[in-house]
């Protein structure tokens, strides 16, 4: 029995001894993931080493603060873990500073926003009063500082163009922190209109310009965005949560690598990076002190076991084979797009430069919600997503977002992507909307069953976690 099988079997049996239902859910999740054609662009498969790094007694420590400056005693091993994770992150992204404590991408963005607010608003304010600590302020001065910090201006990509909720939209805390305005895409091309973005920035004069996306299928010219930010005196932040693996794998370089151009960069670690669920912040040295205040400014206690898993993931991403993987992610994405286009499926922007493809399902008479569920019925896991000027809004949507990081991790290549495109097309053409609802639809169960079996056949030569045998 190999080490991975031994480790996971032992862990599951230990769980089963306390609560069998949880053990069963863990085993069933592995089964479901093995059997599903996973095309959710924000999901991937972490290595056994990453997963095992999270299941240990590093979880038992409180470690507020930073390396060597903790609010709790007994953190020397957490210091080692965090320092190693930072070392690998800095080397991986060629960044002068890294902060690996955020629990998620949203947390990473909040740390970044408050670091920028502290740098641009709080520090100058405190210098004005000759004070260095907010605790030294009187109640009146504190109220004045809070007023000065609130309602600063942010410019980010619109949600329907591919931006993220954390880029200043009202349902998210960022929309309550900032007076937000959006830039979008050229309706004719579906790609960022940089001259229009520049004009918005000149007129709006934001404190922060946010680059990055959650559902934009093209490269972004971060050098141009930095020029615009400098022109209007804005701090330039990039959220690379989705495409960090393409940066780490040196697929995105030069003007398309955000790290040399942005003042501050945030990311998740579990999408194209193939790490644990979590976040990280990279920054220029002048923002390092402010980012280090992330805990307790925004975050609770750092998760030592997750930082350990991040260190493993960063170390894995520094290996040559990860660059090969990253290139294959894009090759597969482009092959999937080409397969869909050959079948007359409409794609937002007409194709892709990265790991994701955005399908406009309106020509099929479907909403995104109907298409998402019909595909799931057929063993194809995707997620609905808004498209530019979406008539169905952000809940029902008119789009389906698909991505190739997970299937590429399993070993599928360009040839399989055409087969996947055919399955998607088959389901979309076979789904009949129910005119009385944006959610209900009709799909022949025999067709769904046939597609599910075909999906299983495509996956069969590429077993998931082949070294793990749970019996």
**Cβ–Cβ under 8 Å, residues 106 and 121:** no
Radius of gyration of the chain (CA): 23
Measuring CA to CA, which residue among 277, 206, 271 is closest to residue 240? 271
Residues in the chain: 471
Residue given tokens 């934009």 in the structure block: 216
Least Cα distance to 262 among 231, 237, 289, 227 occurs for 237
315-320 contact pairs (CB < 8 A, 24+): 315/88, 316/47, 316/49, 316/50, 316/274, 317/92, 317/245, 317/248, 317/249, 317/273, 317/274, 317/275, 318/88, 318/91, 318/92
Please list the active-site residues: 62, 64, 239, 268, 271, 277
Contact of 249 with 325, CB cutoff 8 Å: yes
- Residue 401 has φ and ψ, to the nearest 5°, of -100, 130
**3-state secondary structure at position 396:** helix
Taking the alpha carbons of 155, 161, 162, 165 in that order, is the dihedral positive or negative? positive
Percent helix, strand, coil in the chain (nearest 5)? Answer: 50, 15, 35
Tell me whether strands 356-360 and 152-157 are parallel, antiparallel or unpaired.
unpaired
Q: Report how far residue 145's alpha carbon sits from residue 36's, in angstroms, rounded to the nearest whole number.
A: 52
Measure the CA–CA gap between 200 and 93, rounded to whole angstroms. 30
Rounded CA separation 124/122 (Å): 6
Say how far apart CA 239 and CA 229 lie, in whole Å: 15
DSSP 347: B
DSSP assignment of 149-217: HTTEEEEEE-TTTT--GGGT-TTSHHHHHEEEEEE-B-TTTSSB-HHHHHHHHHHH--SEEEEE-SS--
* Interatomic CA distance for residues 298 and 104, integer angstroms: 12
């Amino acid at each position: 029995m190999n080490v991975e099988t031994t480790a996971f079997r032992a862990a599951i049996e230990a769980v089963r001894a306390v609560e069998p239902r949880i053990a069963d859910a863990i085993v069933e999740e592995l089964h479901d993931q093995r059997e599903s054609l996973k095309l959710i662009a924000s999901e991937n498969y972490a290595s056994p080493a990453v997963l095992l790094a999270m299941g240990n007694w590093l979880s038992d420590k409180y470690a507020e603060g930073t390396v060597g400056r903790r609010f709790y005693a007994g953190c020397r091993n957490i210091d080692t873990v965090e320092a190693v994770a930072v070392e690998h992150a800095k080397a991986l992204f060629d960044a002068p500073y890294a902060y690996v404590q955020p629990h998620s991408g949203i947390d990473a963005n909040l740390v970044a926003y408050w670091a920028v607010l502290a740098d641009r608003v709080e520090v100058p304010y405190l210098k004005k009063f000759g004070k260095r600590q907010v605790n030294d302020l009187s109640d009146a001065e504190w109220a004045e500082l809070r007023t000065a910090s609130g309602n600063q201006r942010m410019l980010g990509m619109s949600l329907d163009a591919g931006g993220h909720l954390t880029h200043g939209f009202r349902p998210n805390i960022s929309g309550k922190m900032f007076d937000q305005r959006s830039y979008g895409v050229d309706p004719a091309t579906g790609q960022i209109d940089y001259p229009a973005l520049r004009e918005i920035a000149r007129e709006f004069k934001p404190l922060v310009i946010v680059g990055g996306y959650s559902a934009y299928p093209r490269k972004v010219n971060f050098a141009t965005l930095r020029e615009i930010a400098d022109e209007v005196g804005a701090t330039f932040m990039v959220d690379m949560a989705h495409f960090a693996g393409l940066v780490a794998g040196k697929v995105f370089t030069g003007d398309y690598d955000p790290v040399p151009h942005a003042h501050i960069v945030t990311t998740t670690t579990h999408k194209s990076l193939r790490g644990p669920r979590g976040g990280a912040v990279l920054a220029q040295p002048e923002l390092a002190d402010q980012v280090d205040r992330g805990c307790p400014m925004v975050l609770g206690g750092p998760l030592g076991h997750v930082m350990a898993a991040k260190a493993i993931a960063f170390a894995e991403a520094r290996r040559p084979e990860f660059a090969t993987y990253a290139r294959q992610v894009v090759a597969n994405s482009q092959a999937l797009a080409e397969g869909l286009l050959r079948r007359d499926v409409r794609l937002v922007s007409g194709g892709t430069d990265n790991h994701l493809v955005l399908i406009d399902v309106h020509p099929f008479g479907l909403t995104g919600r109907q298409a998402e569920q019909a595909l799931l019925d057929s063993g194809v896991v995707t997620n609905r997503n808004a498209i530019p000027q979406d008539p169905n809004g952000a809940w029902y949507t008119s789009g389906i977002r698909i991505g190739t990081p997970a299937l590429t991790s399993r070993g599928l290549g360009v040839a399989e992507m055409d087969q996947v495109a055919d399955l998607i097309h088959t389901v979309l053409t076979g789904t009949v909307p129910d005119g009385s609802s944006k959610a209900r639809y009709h799909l022949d169960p025999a067709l769904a069953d046939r597609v599910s079996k075909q999906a299983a056949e495509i996956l069969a030569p590429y077993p998931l976690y082949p070294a793990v045998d749970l019996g």
